Amino acid sequence: MKRILKIRKSPTDSDGDFYFKIKTILGFKPRNLEYYKKAFIHSSLNLKDEEGKAINYERLEFLGDSVLGTIISNYLFEKAPEGDEGYLTKMRSKIVSREHLNELGKELNLISFFQSKTQFSNFGENIHGNLFEAFIGAIFIDRGFSYCHRFIERRIIEPYVDIDRLEGKIISYKSLLIEWCQKKKKHFKFNSYEDTGNEETKHFAVKLYIENKLVAKSRATSKKKAEEIASKRAYFALQNHIDRS
């Protein structure tokens, strides 16, 4: 009898544990756990519902991205009445930058719920931000806009959004460096090449030249990331010249 009860009880225990963890992250009670479970399912599992529709986090990620952008836009609209469209767009980009969303996903340890057939080492840093957006999408469907707003205000706006500080925050070192080179009429070049070595995960190496002089180099799991890292290193190497211009 004990063995039968144990078998029957396990699924409930599993859901109960998941419910408690999600409730702790949310700060309020979830209604339908299925939305939150779906927010952590990768397409590699090839799951389908009864109607044959794919079950994965991608659609929730799309929705979460839109909801997050709307709530942050509304916040900036109210808190920065003097800001024009360009200013508001730039500030929103700083708040919902991929780097910041990745940090938020890591902070909440959303990856601990992630289900995939693909090895985690094959995913880049952006998986953390993707899951965070999917999680917001799940909140929106489960509890509606007001609860979603409450979560974003508590997890993003209150601890991280300081308009004065954000005004000086650099979103992309690569864009900043390119803009400076163009302004000063300096020739620049990113020399990128695949550099896997003995590792299973593909890597890219980048060398950044300005006026045919090697200024910085880097290595990362994507060409885009490697160029951004090299640009950041170049910025700090040339910071006195760039900030003065």
Concerning whether 82 is annotated as a catalytic residue, the answer is no
Rounded Cα distance between 65 and 207, Å, is 33
Point out the catalytic residue in the list 61, 65, 142, 228: 65
Point out the catalytic residue in the list 133, 142, 227, 228: 133
Rounded Cα distance between 70 and 64, Å, is 10
Which of 79, 244, 90, 82 shows the shortest CA–CA distance to 169?
Answer: 90
- Joined together, the tokens standing for residue 49 give 């519902």
Q: What are phi and psi of 3, to 5 degrees?
A: -65, -40
Question: How does 115-138 read in b/e, with b if 16+ C-beta sit within 10 Å?
Answer: ebeeeeeebebebbbbbbbbbbbb
Rounded Cα distance between 172 and 97, Å, is 9
Concerning whether 133 is annotated as a catalytic residue, the answer is yes
- Joined together, the tokens standing for residue 204 give 């890219």
Q: What are phi and psi of 22, to 5 degrees?
A: -65, -40
Helix residue ranges, H only, the chain:
2-26, 33-38, 58-79, 85-95, 98-107, 126-143, 145-152, 158-160, 163-166, 173-183, 223-237, 239-244
DSSP secondary structure code for residue 197 in this structure:
T
Active site residues: 65, 133
